[in-house]
Amino acid sequence: MPLPHHTDITDGLRLTPARISPKYFYDQRGSELFEAITRLPEYYPTRTETALMQWHAEDIARVIGPGRTLIELGAGNCQKARSMCRLVQPACFVGVDISADFLQSAVQGLRDEFPGLDARAVGGDLTQGIDLPDDIPRSGRLVFYPGSSIGNFDPPHALQLLAYMRALVDEDGGLLIGIDLPKDVAVLEAAYDDAAGVTAAFNRNVLTHVNRLIGSDFDIDHWQHRAFFNAQESRIEMHLESIQAVQVRWPGGARMFAPGERIHTENSYKYPLSVFTDMLARAGFGHAQAWTDERGWFAVVHARP
């Protein structure tokens, strides 16, 4: 019987245009390349979010309060969790990530730095629902979803995901989420197509990962990175474009790609703040307070039921 990710990927490859879900970016190499992207001069989101959280740290800490159960979705290297733990002093930390091995070592680093902290690593795919350990307290939960990752989901899926986050918390819980705001197209496009080609390597690495997962025979030298802003949808799109006519095979299937044909690998929606707070309200978070940087490029929103 094929593994769930096998049919997920092969179904996407048969579509026109073909698609690969961005969740498959994050094998070990992909996680490392994404870390490198966050340090690039063109990639403003991580820097801007970090600076804005430092600038408003006192206010954010006051609004959230200490002793909570902090649940970070897509925790990665736990760098942001480290700052949050210093800021809000949670009683318990739960890191959730699809790249489980990468996460385990990061959570161990948190335990070393905060000896009193009950810190857990939960491997899982956010889009499939997460099984949290039964002994994680229900009361006082704060779901933490930084880095504007919500923008990777189309609006109906983003709404579903926010509703899932609402289901993770009780009336005394909350959500702290980062969102990337609309801005100058040149700034946006440079952030997803850097001069050093790190984002291109990150995008093409998904093919290497897919080869391992489903036994396909993608040759990454036949594909180039494309990233552009789609103004009508208010989103950056990332694609892999075939340089030449190529046949890709996998056990049980194959597909011909014409020169210039694309595989859609990622969207990154840029929401105006009012649109996003309306989406939060529809997901069951009726109260929202936002902090933005002085350029209005990014927002961190605290939302409560």
Interval 136-168: pLDDT, tens: 999 999 999 999 999 999 999 999 999 999 999
pLDDT tens digits along 190-219: 999 999 999 999 999 999 999 999 999 999
The Cα–Cα gap between 13 and 255 comes to 8
**Which of 242, 243, 254 has the alpha carbon at shortest distance from 214?**
254
The share of the chain scoring above pLDDT 90, in percent, equals: 87
The Cα–Cα gap between 225 and 109 comes to 34
The Cα–Cα gap between 212 and 210 comes to 5
Q: Under DSSP, is residue 228 helix (H, G, I), strand (E, B) or coil? A: strand
Q: How many helices (H) and strands (E) does the chain have?
A: 10, 13
**Which of 209, 269, 219 has the alpha carbon at shortest distance from 9?**
209
Q: How confident is the model at residue 77 (pLDDT cuts 50, 70, 90)?
A: confident
**Which of 271, 242, 266, 268 has the alpha carbon at shortest distance from 255?**
242
- Return the number of other C-beta atoms located less than 10 Å from residue 270's C-beta: 20
pLDDT attached to residue 2: 54
Tokens read off for 186: 């040149």
The share of the chain scoring above pLDDT 70, in percent, equals: 99
Residue 3 has pLDDT above 70, yes or no: no
| Strand order across the 174-180 sheet | 118-123, 92-97, 69-73, 141-145, 174-180, 298-304, 287-292
pLDDT tens digits along 249-275: 999 999 999 999 999 999 999 999 999
What would you report as the CA-atom Rg of the chain, rounded to the nearest whole angstrom? 20
- Bridge pairing between strands 141-145 and 69-73: parallel
> Which position has the token pair 């190529």?
246
Interval 92-116 mean pLDDT: 90
Q: In the predicted model, what is the mean pLDDT of the chain? A: 95
The Cα–Cα gap between 135 and 279 comes to 31
pLDDT attached to residue 98: 82
Residue 78 has pLDDT above 80, yes or no: yes
pLDDT tens digits along 24-74: 998 889 989 999 999 999 999 999 999 999 999 999 999 999 999 999 999
Amino acid at 226: R
Cα 33–Cα 78–Cα 92 angle in degrees, nearest 5: 160
Q: How confident is the model at residue 126 (pLDDT cuts 50, 70, 90)?
A: confident
Between the alpha carbon of residue 107 and those of residues 66, 238, 296, the distances in Å are 20, 30, 32
pLDDT attached to residue 207: 98
Q: How confident is the model at residue 1 (pLDDT cuts 50, 70, 90)?
A: very low
b/e burial code for range 33-72 (CB count within 10 A of at least 16 → b): bbeebbebebbbbbbbbbebbeebeeebeeebeeebbbbb
Domains, the chain, with CATH or none: 4-25+186-268 (no CATH), 44-183+270-304 (3.40.50.150)
Lowest mean pLDDT across 31-35, 97-101, 114-118: 97-101
pLDDT attached to residue 124: 86
Amino acid at 199: T
Mark out the alpha helices in 89-241 (DSSP H runs): 100-113, 155-168, 185-191, 198-214
